[in-house]
Structure 1
Amino acid sequence: MSVSDARTPHPARDAVRARRSYSKVTDVAPTREELLDLVAAAARVADHSGLRPWRLIELRGADRERLGRAIAKAQGDDEPSSKPLRAPLLIAIVACIRPSEKVPAWEQEAVASGVAHTLSLLLDEAGWGVIWRTGRYTRSKPVAKAHRLAKDERLLGWLYVGGKPEDERGGHRKTVDPEEFLSRLPQ
């Protein structure tokens, strides 16, 4: 009998396959308490040496307006960016690079990315619309200052979170042919 017997439920796989990005969301968002529960679960991502090289910043209300001003400054614009107002909740993903002889910086960023992706899956499964947004300004000084990032921290972007609109199904991704992406070690 195969481990992936067709009769066996596969909730994690099904949740991953059902996930969609929502570029437009409604004005409702998870509460801080709901978010804390999901962050605790997302923190279970693989983490070499248990460094926990990440943190998340919750932006609601006026925080999003401050971010809009920082983005404008980074881009040399006079008017604040309205991008952060596209969702009622933004979650900044920050990689916190820890000193380690065993775990290089790129691997620590990968852990932070893993937390963000897992959190986006959990939010989607909980019924929230989510999209991970970035931009060239994520590594700018004004945006780093707005987030109060330390010199060893790197902003990886934001999860934009809100209610799933009734009339939008979310972005659709074509399924891939796994044979194209899974190979054996060449001889």
Structure 2
Amino acid sequence: MSALDAVRARHSWSKVTDDAPTREELLTLVAAAGRVADHSSLRPWRLIELRGDDRVVLGKAIAEAEGDKKPSSKPLRAPLLIAVVASFRTSSKVPRWEQEAVASGVAHTMSLLLDDAGWGVFWRTGEYTRSKAVAKAHGLHKDEALLGWLYVGGKPAGKKAGRRKSVDARAMLTGMPAKTKKKPAK
């Protein structure tokens, strides 16, 4: 399958089975995702693998962040969660927003690679990703930000992935406004 075919075929899977890729399978995909465009090769990201009771710990942290007494069951919706962390580096050339974009690019590339490998994936975010309780549960450092989690599991037999509307490419790809274009030199 070509990269274009893989991107066109990708869907979010909000319901997955209890199957999940092994750590060894993940390492191969992480190494490939690390090839994302990265100004100055700062590698301003890291991924945290959550399985088993790690998800229960996260559920408690989400509950604390939201002011709930009962742990959130959201992290139990997939057997594997991959926390996506922007790890900001000091750089005079690469601003924080660009470093966060790199981490986001790694997450999206991971979702494409996991989907292409046959796994169901969806990216979950929420206001609590920036909470102290959730940051502490993940062991984040002061120069790190949690961007969300990739929920990963098996694709259920007979189920369809979430639908996305087609993009109107002509509306999304524009040229420079005419008034800013310079006339060619004679």
Q: When the two structures are superposed, what TM-score results if normalisation uses the length of structure 2? A: 0.95
Which residue number corresponds to residue 126 of structure 2? 135
Partner of 2:10: 19
Separation in structure 2 between the aligned mates of residue 172 and residue 29 of structure 1, nearest angstrom = 23
Deviations 1:107-145 (A, max 9, x none): 000000000000000000000000000011000000000
How big is the shift at 1:168? 1.4
Match runs of 1:27-38 below 5 Å? 27-38=18-29
1:121 matched to 2:141? The reply is no
Unaligned runs of 5+ in 2: 179-186
State how far apart, in whole Å, the 2-side matches of 1:65 and 1:139 are.
Answer: 18
Aligned-residue RMSD, C-alpha = 0.7
Question: Which structure 2 residues correspond to residues 1-187 of structure 1 after superposition, within 5 A?
Answer: 11-187=2-178
Deviation, 1:176, is 1.1
Q: How far apart in 1 are the matches of 2:68 and 2:169?
A: 44
- Letter of the 2:157 partner, please give it: E
1-structure distance, mates of 2:158, 2:76: 20
TM-score by length of 1: 0.94
| Count of matched residue pairs | 178
Task: Find the aligned partners of 2:8 and 2:165 in 1 and give their Cα distance.
Answer: 11
Q: Residues of 2 paired with 1:153 and 1:172: CA distance?
A: 32
Where structure 1 has 5 or more consecutive residues not aligned to the other structure, the ranges are 1-9
1:169 deviates by 1.4
